[in-house]
């Protein structure tokens, strides 16, 4: 299945600033990135950083418009879990303090279940436990805050799912994706878990079909996968528009773990 994606971001800064951008598809068929800053084109410096294609931008004073578009093809070989990825994905992280929920997770879930069934059970539990609510969470909220609040958006669902899986000694990580069928359209956050040595995705929000997701990047949590990081004392992120479309019909959202190429 061919997926076409696009993103437009606008930024304003009274002085020169630096931005780190993570919106590029991991494995595009074709793509284009243009940056117009302070009325002049800006070249993006691309480098790889632990599961992400990062573009570093030197922004000029004034308005900046970033436009990205790409085509990608779903399908492909599943991603195998490397020993280094396993080690990172089983540890606590900033937004996923799994060491704080080990006792809770052991009480709520049967560790002796087959791995795929246990991953699906955790994702289903988070789906039932939380209410999807825009504006309900703060950028600094951890999975524990989300559990206590009982509500959040996709990154909060992902953080709680990851935290519970790690508390059960299942390596898990956050994946930023383009998600055809998501409404309202935005960048989306889902979870990859280690199932028998293969990274398999689950989406506790169930807002988009897993089989049509397009990978952007992966990381320990949202600190590693932010679509934009600004380094300038008063640089401001202004607007964003994201699209992800397919030519054919979309499958229904699913709850079974799915290998995401």
Sheet order of strands, 17-21 included: 45-48, 53-59, 17-21, 228-231
217 and 161 both lie in a single domain: yes
Q: Tell me: the pLDDT tens digits for 49-93?
A: 877 899 999 999 999 999 999 999 887 889 999 999 999 999 999
- Residue 56: the pLDDT is 97
pLDDT average, residue stretch 18-22: 96
Within-domain flag for 155: yes
| CB count in 10 Å sphere of residue 196 | 9
- Residue 38: the pLDDT is 94
99 and 219 both lie in a single domain: yes
Within-domain flag for 253: no
Instruction: Give the pLDDT band (50/70/90) at residue 169.
Output: very high
Within-domain flag for 24: yes
95 and 163 both lie in a single domain: yes
Within-domain flag for 99: yes
104 and 192 both lie in a single domain: yes
CA–CA dist 215, 211 (Å, integer)? 11
pLDDT average, residue stretch 155-184: 97
Instruction: Give the pLDDT band (50/70/90) at residue 244.
Output: very high
Tokens of 87: 């080690």
Q: Is the pLDDT of residue 187 over 80?
A: yes
> What CATH number does the domain containing 242 carry?
2.60.40.2250
Q: Is the pLDDT of residue 10 over 80?
A: yes
CA–CA dist 180, 142 (Å, integer)? 27
Q: For residue 128, report the phi and psi dihedrals to the nearest 5 degrees.
A: -80, -30
Within-domain flag for 255: no
Within-domain flag for 114: yes
Owning domain of residue 26: 2-74+227-246
Within-domain flag for 58: yes
99 and 202 both lie in a single domain: yes
Contact between residue 92 and residue 31 where contact means Cβ atoms under 8 Å apart? no
* Domain tally, the chain: 2
The DSSP call for residue 137 is S
Q: Are strands 151-152 and 131-132 parallel, antiparallel or unpaired?
A: parallel
Mean pLDDT, the chain, rounded, equals: 94
- Residue 49: the pLDDT is 87
113 and 193 both lie in a single domain: yes
């Amino acid at each position: 299945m061919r997926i076409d994606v696009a993103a437009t971001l606008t930024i304003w800064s009274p002085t020169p600033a630096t931005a780190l951008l993570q919106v590029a598809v991991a494995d595009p068929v074709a793509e284009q990135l243009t940056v117009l800053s302070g009325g002049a084109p800006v070249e993006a410096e691309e480098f790889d950083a632990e599961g992400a294609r990062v573009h570093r931008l030197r922004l000029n004073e004034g308005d900046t418009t970033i436009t990205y578009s790409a085509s990608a093809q779903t399908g492909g070989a599943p991603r195998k879990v490397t020993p280094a990825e396993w080690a990172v994905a089983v540890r606590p992280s900033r937004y996923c303090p799994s060491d704080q929920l080990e006792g809770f997770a052991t009480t709520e879930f049967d560790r002796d279940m087959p791995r795929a069934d246990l991953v699906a059970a955790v994702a289903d539990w988070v789906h039932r436990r939380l209410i999807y609510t825009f504006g309900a969470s703060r950028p600094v909220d951890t999975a524990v805050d989300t559990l206590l609040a009982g509500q959040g958006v996709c990154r909060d669902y992902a953080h709680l799912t990851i935290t519970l899986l790690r508390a059960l000694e299942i390596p898990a990580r956050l994946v930023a994706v383009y998600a055809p069928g998501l409404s309202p359209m935005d960048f989306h956050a889902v979870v990859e878990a280690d199932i028998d040595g293969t990274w398999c995705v689950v989406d506790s929000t169930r807002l988009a079909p897993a089989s049509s997701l397009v990978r952007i990047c992966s990381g320990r949590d949202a600190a590693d996968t932010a679509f934009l990081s600004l380094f300038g004392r008063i640089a401001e992120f202004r607007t964003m528009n994201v699209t992800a479309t397919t030519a054919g019909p979309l499958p229904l959202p699913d709850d079974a773990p799915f290998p995401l190429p």
